Amino acid sequence: MQVVEAFMKYIELGGYVMPPLVVCTLGLWFGLGYRFSAVQGRGLPPRRLLEMALAGELTRPVGILEQGAVIGARLSKDFRGRLDRELEVQFHPLRVEVGRFRRLTGAIVGIAPLLGLLGTVSGMIETFDSLGDMTLYSQSGGIAGGISQALLTTQFGLAVAIPGLILKGLLDRRQTTIEIQLQELKALICGEGAKRVHHE
């Protein structure tokens, strides 16, 4: 209870900008958590994953690449027609999944410092208004309240944005790697399909 009360007091001191920042924090960490789970996998190269899928060893694929390997193994055995086009269609949902919430997290990382800056400006306005009246404390906060709002919103905005920016960068690189590996997997599957056609 004391932690909750302290947090609510913190939000109150920060002024009207703090609730949107709290919403941004929740949205950011939800998006980052979802993206983190989406890029998980066994860490094996595409060739090895395809070999496992063709051998029936990937009964429970745990990542995007594993799912792609299973789809590719099935198509390389059964599909008749332009395998590359069919793989492009089948892999599209996987690419969408691995990139889900990328724009949301990027937008929040950009918005959070601006919200903090807005709170800083509002706090400084309150401070200067109170200096004109020589009011240390008032119903709206006074000098002390204005300074507190200016500092807290800046702090909170940066506290949301900086970790989010770092983690987003790491996840973006992992997403790019997976997309490249999907292309490599597609090439390997097309090769397997060509071998099957040749043997037939």
pLDDT digits (tens, 9 = 90+) for 68-100: 999 988 888 776 667 788 888 999 999 999 999
134: left (phi over 0), alpha (psi -120 to 50) or beta: left
Q: Dump pLDDT digits (tens) for 23-76.
A: 999 999 999 999 999 998 888 899 999 888 888 888 888 889 999 999 988 888
In degrees and rounded to multiples of 5, residue 146 shows phi and psi of -65, -45
pLDDT the model gives residue 137:
52
- In Å, how far are 62, 135, 147, 168 from 130, measured between CA atoms? 59, 5, 11, 41
The distance of Cα 153 from the centroid of its chain, to the nearest Å, equals 23
Over residues 177-195, the pLDDT tens digits come to 999 999 999 888 887 655 5
Q: Tell me the whole-structure pTM to 2 decimals.
A: 0.81
